[in-house]
């Protein structure tokens, strides 16, 4: 039996539920006293301690707290206010679907399944298909004349005319064709979001951009992108005065990553308002952001992070003196960041030759770039790292050969039906014949012939032989 929250007695029927509390008839008469409603002025029983209480009619006449509808069928009265019937499902408790077990707030019984199970929306529509006429995902039947699978509306009703463009559309589409429907959605979203912009002049630019985007990508995609692209105008709000902002403040505010993210707004500024893109400033900004990201790659509290910050400051000072470029600084910071990240994952504070050898074994092409950082460590942290070993060409060549061996072994383990002959030949020319990678960058235009024991490759006037890995494995 239900229980009164005021007196605690079990009663057959709850007389009034007010702000998530149940009241029996006896407690209702005692707690709710007659007085004039502060909203409509009519006499009604109101909670004696709640000075803001209104009568039940005024309480249900307020807009829905979720969708703000005014005239609606009442679904639920919450502590925050009334909720319409459509929004009331979001205040239900999550319960497990009796078919798939997924928690849902929208369980229902579907009579056509004849199983009397309370199922989630996905299970409730598990027999739906796409209507071949209106393209809606609905319950469909086969048309006896055309043989198509059609929904009930398309099957029983004649075609209609779109109220906007007068184009003939299937009955299942509703009142508007797909293009006009998405354009109406786009217009509603523009009206909704344009009021969130504080700058009055920016509102006009935003509407102009959305009209351009509608023409550029269509109303469907424009309606889906509007919430993302309004962030471009919100982030640059104070840059828009009586005219569009220049490229420099946009680059400073959004950086190159932000300009890539908002490619379409930038394209609109270039096409419509003739924004000039400074490629040199854009490249410098990109290199600087990558340099700063590499300098902050280690955990903040570690010694590795402090070492990288000191090396970063050294590179910045060299850039200020004109001794190096931003690109060279970024290329110098890349191996330093990778090495110190490797050290931060160990129990040591400073790198040893083992760390250097291990890193160069994984990335042999960074041998020259890491020398500057090793000299910095030797000078400032007394590490005594041998830079002559790093610059030894034989050591670098040996590391490259080991890397090639690893790649060749990986290809040899691939099943024969997935064997990539062109990739095997490229690596084989580098490993067996010491050819540089740049020689065969356009390998697609080079002829090779399959022999009984391998591949015959012709590069210009030279002819090379590469063994067949499948024959090698068969002879083992």
Instruction: For residue 90, name the pLDDT band (cuts at 50, 70, 90).
Output: confident
Handedness of CA 369, 375, 380, 382 (dihedral sign): positive
DSSP assignment of 190-237 equals HHHHHTT---HHHHHHHHHHHHHHHHHH-HHHHHHHHHHHHHHHHHTG
Give yes or no for a contact between 333 and 312, defined as CB atoms under 8 angstroms apart.
yes
Q: Between the CA of residue 464 and those of 423, 428, 443, 459, 461, what are the distances in Å?
A: 15, 10, 14, 8, 10
Q: What is the mean pLDDT of residues 236-255?
A: 90
Residue 386 CA, distance from chain mean position = 45
Q: Please give the torsion angle defined by the CA atoms of residues 66, 69, 75 and 77, in that order, rounded to the nearest 10 degrees.
A: 60
In whole numbers, what is the pLDDT of the chain averaged over residues? 87
With residue 361 as reference, give the H or E element that holds it. Answer: helix 353-362
Exposure of 186 by Cβ count < 10 A (0-12 exposed, 13-18 middle, 19+ buried)? buried
Query: Residue 93 carries which DSSP code?
Result: P
Backbone φ and ψ for 420, nearest 5 degrees, come out as: -100, 100
Look at 333-347, 367-381, 400-414 and tell me which has the smallest mean pLDDT: 400-414
- pLDDT band, residue 475 (cuts 50/70/90): very low
Q: Return d(Cα 128, Cα 155) in angstroms, integer.
A: 15
Helix (H) or strand (E) run with residue 362 in it = helix 353-362
C-alpha closest to that of 60 among 82, 37, 93, 84: 82
Torsion of CA 337, 338, 344, 345, to 10 degrees: 160
| Whether 66 contacts 88, CB under 8 Å | no
**Greater confidence, 21 or 122?**
122
Q: What is the reported pLDDT for 471?
A: 66
80-84, 96-100, 102-106, 222-226: lowest mean pLDDT where? 80-84
Predicted pLDDT of residue 52: 79
| H helix intervals, 73-175 | 121-124, 152-156
Q: What is the DSSP string of 279-292?
A: HHHHHHHHHHHHHH
Q: What is the pLDDT of residue 476?
A: 42
Q: Are 117 and 137 in contact (CB under 8 A)?
A: no
Look at phi and psi of residue 327 and say left if phi exceeds 0, alpha if psi is from -120 to 50, else beta: alpha
Q: CB 4: neighbour CB atoms within 10 A? A: 19
Closest alpha carbon to 303 in 390, 384, 385, 377:
377
pLDDT of residue 445: 59
What is the reported pLDDT for 392? 62
Percent of the chain's residues with pLDDT above 70: 95
CB 443, CB 425: distance < 8 Å: yes
C-beta atoms surrounding 423 within 10 Å: 14
Of the two residues 242 and 35, the one the predictor is more confident about is 35
Please check the confidence at residue 224 and state whether its pLDDT lies above 80.
yes
Phi and psi (nearest 5°) for 22? -95, 140
CA-wise closest residue to 468 among 447, 449, 442, 441: 449
Mean pLDDT throughout 358-366? 83
């Amino acid at each position: 039996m239900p229980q009164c929250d005021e007196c605690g007695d079990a009663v057959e029927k709850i007389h009034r539920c007010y702000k998530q509390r149940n009241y029996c008839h006896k407690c209702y008469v005692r707690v709710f006293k007659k007085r004039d409603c502060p909203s409509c002025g009519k006499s009604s029983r109101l909670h004696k301690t709640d000075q803001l209480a209104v009568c039940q009619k005024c309480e249900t006449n307020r807009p829905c707290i979720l969708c703000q509808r005014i005239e609606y069928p009442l679904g639920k009265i919450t502590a925050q206010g009334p909720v319409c019937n459509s929004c009331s499902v979001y205040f239900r408790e999550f319960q497990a679907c009796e078919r798939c077990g997924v928690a849902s707030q929208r369980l229902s019984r579907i009579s056509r399944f004849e199983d009397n199970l309370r199922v989630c929306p996905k299970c409730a529509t598990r027999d739906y298909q796409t209507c071949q006429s209106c393209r809606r995902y609905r319950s469909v039947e086969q048309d006896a004349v055309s043989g198509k699978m059609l929904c009930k509306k398309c099957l029983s009703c004649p075609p209609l005319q779109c109220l906007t463009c007068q184009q003939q559309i299937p009955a299942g589409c509703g009142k508007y064709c797909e293009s006009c429907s998405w354009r109406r959605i786009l217009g509603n979203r523009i009206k909704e979001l344009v009021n969130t912009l504080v700058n009055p002049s920016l509102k006009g630019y935003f509407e102009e951009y959305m009209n351009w985007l509608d023409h550029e990508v269509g109303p469907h995609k424009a309606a889906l992108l509007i919430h993302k692209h309004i962030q471009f105008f919100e982030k640059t709000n104070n840059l828009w005065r009586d005219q569009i902002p220049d490229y420099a403040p946009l680059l400073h505010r959004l950086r190159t990553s932000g300009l890539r993210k908002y490619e379409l707004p930038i394209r609109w500024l270039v096409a419509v308002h003739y924004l000039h893109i400074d490629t040199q400033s854009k490249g410098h900004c990109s290199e600087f952001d990558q340099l700063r990201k590499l300098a902050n790659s280690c955990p903040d509290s570690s010694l590795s992070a402090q070492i990288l910050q000191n090396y970063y400051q050294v590179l910045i000072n060299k850039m200020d003196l004109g001794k190096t470029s931003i690109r060279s600084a970024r290329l110098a910071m890349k191996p330093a960041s990778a090495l110190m990240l490797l050290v931060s994952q160990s129990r040591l504070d400073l790198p040893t030759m083992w760390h250097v050898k291990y890193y160069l074994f994984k990335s042999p092409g960074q041998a020259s770039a890491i020398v500057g950082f090793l000299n910095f460590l030797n000078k400032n942290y007394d590490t005594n790292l041998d830079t002559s070993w790093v610059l030894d060409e034989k050591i670098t060549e040996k590391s490259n050969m080991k890397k090639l061996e690893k790649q060749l072994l990986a290809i040899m383990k691939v099943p024969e039906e997935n064997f990539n002959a062109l990739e095997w030949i490229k690596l084989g020319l580098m490993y067996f014949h010491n050819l540089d990678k740049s020689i065969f960058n356009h390998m697609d235009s080079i002829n090779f012939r399959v022999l009984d024991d391998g591949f015959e490759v012709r590069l210009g006037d030279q002819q090379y032989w590469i063994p067949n890995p499948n024959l090698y494995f068969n002879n083992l």
